[in-house]
Amino acid sequence: MKSQFFKSVSDRGLTIAALTIAVICALPHLGVLVAAFMGSLDTLTHLAETVLGGYTQTTLALVVLVCIGTASIGTGAAWVVTMAEFPGRRWFEIALVIPLAFPAYVLAYAYTHLLDHPGIVQSTLRDVMGWGPRDYWFPKIRSLGGAAAMLILVLYPYVYLLARAAFTAQSATTFFAARSLGKTPLGAFFRVSLPMARPAIAAGVLLTAMETIADFGTVAYFGVQTFATGIYTSWFSMADRAAAAQLSLGLLAFALLLAILERTSRGDAQYTSGRRQEAMARMNLTGATKWAAVLLCALPVVFGLIVPVIALVVMALESQQDLLSQRYVGFIRNSLTLASLAALITVGAAILLGAYQRQRKGRLSSAAAYVARMGYAVPGGVIAVGLLVPMAAFDNALDSWMRETFDISTGLLLTGSIWLLIAAYMIRFLAAALGAYEGGISAVSPNMDSAARVLGQSQWGVLRRVHMPILTPSLLTAALIVFVDVMKELPATLIMRPFNYDTLAVQAFRLASDERLEGAAMPSLVIAAIGLIPVILLCRKVGRGG
């Protein structure tokens, strides 16, 4: 009887923990909604008359450009490396993934140093041609097109990976049938292979769209006015929380629409991977087509990896900064502390939610998991506003009550603390950890859970003694992904970090904003180097699967 009591208490504890996590994940959405409608309509009217139209137009234009670019590069490269044999194919198959390690704002710093008016490209052009500053036209890197190019170069691997998996899973039978009916290889691609892979490609494109609307560092540095920059400007420059909340609500609605489309496309993607009847034999390319394939795969790698790395290394050497100085050690320590704590807490939350959904199947557990996954579609700036508004109200109310009752000031307990920032990271990246958990738990038969329960184990016992030993590799991968994502996260860190608590990403952004690009190169390189870790693991998996 006593053991049954403790077992019941343990089971109830798992339910409470999982539902608490879901409530925390829902808090930013509710906070933005309440703060937006509590704001003055005058603020909303002013936004509509001044900047709202421009923010909407620019954001949509940026999303369209990035989607077209990533779809073209990712799909084309995936088709070529999967279906054709040409010089360097095995190397390109892996190298095409590596730009995913770079935040777009790091590429923005590198290319601005190269292509801006005082940069090496235009300076060399003027010296060689003998031109003056106004004697020639050169495309502006600090523009909407420049921001789109930076995002395309780092986001196309999303489409490439999903398209490559879809093409690899296709049977050669349908392709050869189209060829036997007189279609050229390119015609068979457009009429057969591409339509079959379309759901996977659409899922990758929608992921790039969500990353695009979440981007802040690139558009802010290039002076492109999107919803993301508008939220930051309203919060800091104008000190208008109502405007920030109302802009956040608009961006939140757009983000959730993209999330719904992405989930729908994944559900429709089941038919792309049917039974593979015959493996596709790679076509041996010759002549001009061979070098065209090399060029198609080489250009994204050269401009998304080789050129920015060389530029950043040269800039870092010119800056003569000491990475081991006390100041930089502090930035690194702050970044590693935030990333480590966020990874541990996020993976722990994923375990609790995943275990609850597995052991208590029903609408409540499904709803909790769905709410927790919504964070991956919400930009960091929106999460920051959605948390800070209600937490600031709570802190002020508690401080006022403590002053009146006990004549004690509690100050700001939550607002501006490291723990509220970590909560924002958890909300933002919990979906990635849940995905890794679900991938690992699929190897655990439900019969194992039932056997453990029959032997007297509580839900906690099943989780600790059955699931955890099997899940360890997947959970380590999830922790690594969250760790790297937190290292790169910029808008939430800028808005929510404690006073005088700067990270590598914040330092790089600050120096670049002050036009000290050489100084921004060092922290940018460190961020990119850390981002390479999960990409290398992914590349190993791609290499084995090729």
Q: Which of 441, 476, 424 is nearest to 354 (CA)?
A: 441
Q: Tell me, what's the pLDDT at 219?
A: 92
Together in a domain, 340 and 330 = yes
Say if residue 300 is in the same domain as residue 333.
Answer: no
Q: Which of helix, strand or coil describes residue 240?
A: coil
Write down the pLDDT at residue 278.
54
The greatest distance separating any two alpha carbons of the chain, rounded to the nearest whole angstrom, comes to 93
Residue 508 lies in a domain: no
Whether residues 449 and 312 fall in one domain: no
DSSP per-residue codes, 354-391: HHHHHHS-SHHHHHHHHHHHGGGGS-HHHHHHHHHHHH
Query: Looking at the domain assignment, is residue 506 inside a domain?
Result: no
Q: Please check whether residues 256 and 370 belong to one and the same domain.
A: no
Do 74 and 207 belong to one domain?
yes
509 contact partners, CB below 8 Å, separation of at least 6: 105, 217, 220, 221, 490, 494, 520
Burial class (CB in 10 A: 0-12, 13-18, 19+), 15: middle
Residue 210 shares a structural domain with residue 80: yes
Flag whether 57 is in a domain. Answer: yes
pLDDT of 454: 61
Residues 115 and 230 placed together within one structural domain of the fold: yes
The predicted structure's pLDDT at residue 9: 47
CA distances from 214 to 33, 108, 229, 512 (A): 18, 16, 10, 20
* pLDDT score of 311: 92
Q: Does residue 168 share a domain with residue 99?
A: yes
CATH number for 459: 1.10.3720.10
Q: Are residues 67 and 110 in the same domain?
A: yes
Do residues 106 and 243 both lie within one domain? yes
Global pTM reads: 0.83
- Both 29 and 91 in one domain: the answer is no
Residue 505 maps to a domain:
no
Which pLDDT score, from 0 to 100, does residue 1 have?
Answer: 46
Q: Residue 271: what pLDDT?
A: 44
Residue 192: predicted pLDDT: 67
The answer on 268 and 131 residing in a single domain is yes
Residue 113, both tokens: 């140093």
Residue type, 290: K
**Domain membership flag for residue 111:** yes
Return the SS3 of 184: coil
**What is the residue-wise DSSP string for 479-514?**
HHHHHHHHHH--HHHHHHSPTT---HHHHHHHHHHT
Please tell me the total count of domains within the chain: 2
- pLDDT tens by residue, 224-269: 998 888 888 877 766 677 777 888 888 888 877 777 776 666 554 4
What does the pLDDT read at residue 542? 63
pLDDT of the chain, 546 residues: tens digit per residue: 444 444 454 557 778 888 899 999 988 888 888 877 776 767 777 777 878 888 889 999 999 999 999 999 999 898 888 888 888 888 998 889 889 888 999 999 999 999 988 888 888 888 888 887 777 788 889 999 999 999 999 999 989 988 887 777 766 666 666 656 666 666 666 666 667 777 778 888 888 888 898 888 899 899 899 888 888 887 776 667 777 788 888 888 887 777 777 666 655 444 444 444 555 567 777 778 888 889 999 999 999 999 999 999 998 888 777 777 788 888 889 999 999 999 999 999 988 888 888 777 788 888 888 888 888 778 888 888 888 888 888 888 888 888 888 888 877 778 878 899 999 999 999 888 888 777 777 666 666 666 666 666 666 666 666 667 777 777 887 888 888 889 888 888 988 888 888 899 988 988 888 888 888 888 888 888 888 887 877 777 666 654
CA 383, CA 401: separation in Å to the nearest integer?
27
Q: What confidence score (pLDDT) does residue 408 get? A: 84
Residue 484 placed within a domain: yes
Q: Has residue 502 been placed in a domain?
A: no
CA–CA distance, 248 with 29 (Å, rounded to integer): 9
Q: What is the pLDDT of residues 266-320, one digit of tens each?
A: 554 444 444 445 555 677 777 788 888 899 999 999 999 999 999 999 988 887 7
- Tell me if 409 is assigned to some domain: yes
Residue 60 belongs to domain spanning: 48-318+514-546
